[in-house]
């Protein structure tokens, strides 16, 4: 896999490898959000909050770490939607559940990111397969 530049230092851990259900693949990953993350220095100086877009990045990272086994290498094409419902702080673990479905020429990934306090965000991602 080609490395990817990301604002999140901690790599995702695959907790549940992709498993085939009737019309989809399901998987789960988690990312520890430590106080060492560089984004906290500036977001914000007096009260560290993990940026919502970094929650989305954890979903992207999780998706790329647990892709559908029958997919070619994937590239992010779109964030079809993201809804932010709970804050994420240093010390949290962000658990991400993933549901993959193929739609014509792309892969859609529905991700739900949660901390121990509950849901932080729901994210719908769209990936395209490398055409090589």
Partner 1 sequence: MLISPAGVRAALPHRYPMLLVDRVTEIVPGERLTAYKAVTLNEPWYQRLGPVVDDAELAYPPVLLIESWGQAAGLLAQYDHPEPEALRTNVMVVGGISGAVFHRPVLPGELLEHDVRLVRALTDTMIFEGECRSGGEVVFEVERVTMAYRPAGMLREQPVAH
For partner 1, the binding residues (CB under 8 A) are 2-7, 9, 35, 38-39, 41-45, 47-49, 51-54, 56-57, 60, 76-84, 87, 89-91, 117
Q: Which of 24, 43, 124, 126 is catalytic?
A: 43
DSSP state of 19: E
The rounded distance, in Å, linking the Cα atoms of 58 and 31 is 7
- Please, what is the minimum distance in Å from the beta carbon of residue 121 to partner 1? 9
The rounded distance, in Å, linking the Cα atoms of 97 and 16 is 9
Closer to partner 1 by Cβ: residue 51 or 62: 51
Closer to partner 1 by Cβ: residue 1 or 22: 1
- Please, what is the minimum distance in Å from the beta carbon of residue 16 to partner 1? 24
CA-atom Rg of the chain in angstroms: 15
For residue 43, indicate whether it is catalytic: yes
Question: 21 to each of 16, 59, 124, how far by Cα in Å?
Answer: 14, 20, 19
- Please, what is the minimum distance in Å from the beta carbon of residue 5 to partner 1? 5
Question: 132 to each of 68, 78, 109, 127, how far by Cα in Å?
Answer: 18, 20, 22, 15
Closer to partner 1 by Cβ: residue 22 or 41: 41
List, by residue number, the catalytic residues.
Answer: 43
């Amino acid at each position: 896999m080609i490395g990817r530049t990301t604002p999140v230092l901690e790599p995702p851990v695959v907790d549940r490898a992709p498993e085939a259900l009737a019309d989809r693949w399901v998987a789960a990953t988690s990312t520890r959000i430590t106080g060492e993350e560089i984004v906290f220095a500036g977001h914000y100086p007096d009260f560290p909050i993990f940026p919502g877009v970094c929650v989305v990045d954890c979903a992207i990272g999780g998706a790329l770490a647990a892709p559908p086994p029958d997919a070619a290498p994937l590239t992010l094409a779109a964030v079809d939607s993201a809804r932010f419902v709970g804050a994420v702080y240093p010390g949290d673990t962000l658990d991400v559940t993933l549901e993959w479905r193929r739609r014509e020429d792309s892969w859609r990934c529905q991700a739900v990111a949660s901390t121990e306090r509950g849901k932080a965000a729901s994210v719908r991602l769209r990936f395209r397969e490398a055409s090589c």
